[in-house]
Amino acid sequence: MEAELQPQEERSPAPVVGLSLCDSAPLLWRLQDLKAVRSEGLVGALLGSLPRTPRQNVRLGRPLLLLPEEERLLGERGGAAALPAQNQEAAAGELQQRYTEEQQRSFEEQSVLALEDRESALVRAMTSSSGSDPASDEALQHRLLDLEQNFSFPRSALAVQLSTARAGLSHCPEARAFLEADWPIRAQRCPRREARFQVFRDLRGRGFFLTSAGKFGGDFLVYPGDPLRFHAHFIAICLALDESVCLLDVLCAARLGSNVKKTVLLCSPAPDGPVRYTSLQWSGMV
């Protein structure tokens, strides 16, 4: 299977990414998948605590949640596939044994590394204090020997990894049936979702980056480039062409847009093709 995957990656600029469902939300876990969707201009939203400093909300970490539109876009291009739900009951016994072995091997290797670490520290300390005279050299050798004989690496000092993505020796081995061919159709087709998707696809096709704009009262925030470097220019509000709009809503949106220095776009996909964009601006005439 892996062999099949590799050539596919070479062929298409967009590799197939593995989605996993959590409470029916499409989540991306593996770094390569995150990178892949980003390179397609899909931003998503990070949900998890950042491993480096978990207790803050400014920068979050994996997993990455895809918007329904992002998910559908990937699906349409055949660029996404569902990861199997966990827990194909494996030969658990064998895995557990392997896990124990791995741990033991890791412990041994880390012991060696720790000893090396201490030795080099000792050498650094001894040599920097006194030049290189034979007496101190001998003392150093003696000390090193002493260290080697008495060094013990406590089990509690063993560094272990808490894996983010499911991989390697977890209780649910990954190796089999990594990717399945098709992605279940999950998107509920309702006019509103449809309009949103049309707009999303159109704007993305024009090179814009999009994120959700709930806090600005719109459907999408539209960025001219990667949101890491650019401010959003527009607030996109998606409407079907024949949908009537309450004037108050329009005024609210316009007023809000001008307050956050963004242009409000009313976006309506025409039945057969292009999306119509209308900008709203509060003129401030007195």
Catalytic residue set:
223, 231, 262
Which of 134, 229, 247, 283 is in the footprint of other proteins by CB under 8 A? Answer: 229
Q: Closer to other proteins at the Cβ: 106 or 136?
A: 106
Residues 232-271, interacting with other proteins (CB under 8 A): 233
Give the amino acid at 21: L
Give the amino acid at 151: F
Smallest distance from other proteins to CB 118, Å:
12
Give the amino acid at 220: F
- Our finding on whether 114 is near other proteins (CB under 8 A) is yes
Q: Report the C-alpha gap between 110 and 126 in whole angstroms.
A: 24
Q: Report the C-alpha gap between 193 and 187 in whole angstroms.
A: 9
Q: In this chain, which stretch among 73-81, 134-142, 219-227, 236-244 interacts with other proteins, using CB under 8 A?
A: 219-227
Sort strands 234-238 and 220-223 into parallel, antiparallel or unpaired: antiparallel
Which of 30, 72, 204, 262 is in the footprint of other proteins by CB under 8 A? Answer: 30
Smallest distance from other proteins to CB 63, Å:
7
> H helices within 12-91, ranges in order?
31-39, 68-76
Q: Is omega for the bond preceding 154 within 30 degrees of 0, making it cis?
A: no
- Our finding on whether 147 is near other proteins (CB under 8 A) is no
- Our finding on whether 20 is near other proteins (CB under 8 A) is yes
- Our finding on whether 84 is near other proteins (CB under 8 A) is no
Q: Report the C-alpha gap between 208 and 201 in whole angstroms.
A: 10
Taking the CA atoms of the chain, what radius of gyration do you get in angstroms?
Answer: 28
Contact between 75 and 183 under an 8 Å Cβ cutoff? The reply is: yes
Q: Report the C-alpha gap between 238 and 248 in whole angstroms.
A: 16
Smallest distance from other proteins to CB 50, Å:
7
Q: Closer to other proteins at the Cβ: 166 or 201?
A: 166
Residues 162-181, interacting with other proteins (CB under 8 A): 162-172, 174-175, 178
Sort strands 17-22 and 80-82 into parallel, antiparallel or unpaired: parallel
- Torsion 88-93-94-98 (CA) sign: positive
- Our finding on whether 158 is near other proteins (CB under 8 A) is yes
Helices 92-129 and 134-150, axial angle in degrees (round to 10): 160
Residues 32-61, interacting with other proteins (CB under 8 A): 32, 34-35, 38, 44-61
Smallest distance from other proteins to CB 137, Å:
28
Which of 10, 128, 150, 159 is in the footprint of other proteins by CB under 8 A? Answer: 159
- Our finding on whether 22 is near other proteins (CB under 8 A) is yes
- Our finding on whether 24 is near other proteins (CB under 8 A) is yes
